[in-house]
Homo-oligomer: A and B are copies of this chain.
């Protein structure tokens, strides 16, 4: 006799609805593949009477989310409410405490409370699965935990947010302004009505924090440098293009001298590099490890279809049995790393200065760089038409970020500087 699992599905937005239909349609197929049966025994969501393209049986519906975790006949809770706090947090904590397996797509929750949740899951011998929380349909979590288990990862980075990647690639392709492009993304459904966390880097930061745990067997670490893309404009895109680069919002996590460095920032990457070719809403993860070398996984990072692919892989993993550690290793074996600051890292950088066209400006700028131990590789000066000022683009040789930031602070005070100097770091890997 095959084992039977009862599922409670909580949250019926785009993703919850897509998942429900998918599970119904593929019930036999998934039961065969995983050698056990499942049933969506219970459903709970905000509104019972909303129009939906499927029927919910009366006995499936649970009005009060709180009643789910105490139901004895539930084996798996799928949380699709979202948000690090409130009902999602309560549901997941209480489900694990009541020895239910949990599947969630909630990156905010996992990146904030993952350590605590993992301890409860381990103690109660249930699974906490969250493949859908990082890069949607890209099976990155399972790959790190299983396919690449042999590897000592030293660096993981990539494009972890589809909305911001869509915006940057569209600005590059269509030469539209940042605001126009955001509006277009909203129209196409590639950006939420409030895309703040996609644009300001916070969404990527959550994913970086989770990937750090899995890659380095560490606990979650809050120390992360985060910059978003809202200050990127067409001029930067065109400058980058002239210099042989594209601009991408990248997340990085790496171990250097036994310290963990986590960072998210718009980055110049060589046009001919693999990462430059990842456009639109695609996500890509690049893993540097031993013995594997470099491994790339690319796919759709968001949307109900890709998210469902990830959720179903999580559900299947539970259906196949075996208790897995949420972060790939038991909590007592996880490490606490000291963190390093971005200012200690070395980058070749793109610096954009808007200056008054005055005699001696360039000479003063280059002097300022040299005084701050930053050596210049390339200068691109273009006067703005009909204006008495110009844009100066400087590409530096690899320099300590601390010195570059100090240079910019000094320059910011100069009377010939019109706008706050802009810094974009270059990734040569």
Count residues of A near B (Cβ-Cβ below 8 Å). 53
A139 pairs with B147, CB closer than 8 A: yes
Known: A150-B22, A329-B32. A292 touches B296 (CB 8 A): no
In the complex, A183 has a CB within 8 A of chain B = no
In the complex, A316 has a CB within 8 A of chain B = yes
Residues of chain B lying within 8 A (CB to CB) of residue A290: 305
Provide the bound-state CA to CA distance between A322 and B22, in Å.
26
Closest to A28 in B: B333
Closest to A306 in B: B292
Residues of chain B lying within 8 A (CB to CB) of residue A274: 277, 298
Binary B-proximity of A286-315 (CB < 8 A = 1, otherwise 0): 000011111111111000111011011100
Closest to A323 in B: B35
Residues of chain B lying within 8 A (CB to CB) of residue A329: 32-33
Known: A143-B143, A146-B317, A328-B33. A296 touches B293 (CB 8 A): no
Known: A35-B330, A139-B147. A293 touches B321 (CB 8 A): no
Residues of chain B lying within 8 A (CB to CB) of residue A317: 146
A321 pairs with B322, CB closer than 8 A: yes
Instruction: State how many angstroms separate the Cβ of A348 from the closest Cβ of chain B.
Output: 22
Provide the bound-state CA to CA distance between A284 and B294, in Å.
12
In the complex, A324 has a CB within 8 A of chain B = yes
Provide the bound-state CA to CA distance between A22 and B289, in Å.
14
**Interface residue ranges of A167-186 to B (CB < 8 Å):** none
A309 pairs with B139, CB closer than 8 A: no
Instruction: State how many angstroms separate the Cβ of A313 from the closest Cβ of chain B.
Output: 5
B316 pairs with A149, CB closer than 8 A: yes
Residues of chain B lying within 8 A (CB to CB) of residue A322: 320-322
A295 pairs with B149, CB closer than 8 A: no
Provide the bound-state CA to CA distance between A284 and B297, in Å.
10
Residues of chain B lying within 8 A (CB to CB) of residue A294: 299-300
In the complex, A49 has a CB within 8 A of chain B = no
Besides A34-B149, A148-B309, A150-B316, 14 more A-B contacts (Cβ < 8 Å) are: A30-B149, A30-B150, A33-B325, A147-B147, A149-B313, A150-B311, A150-B312, A291-B309, A292-B300, A294-B299, A295-B298, A296-B298, A297-B297, A298-B298
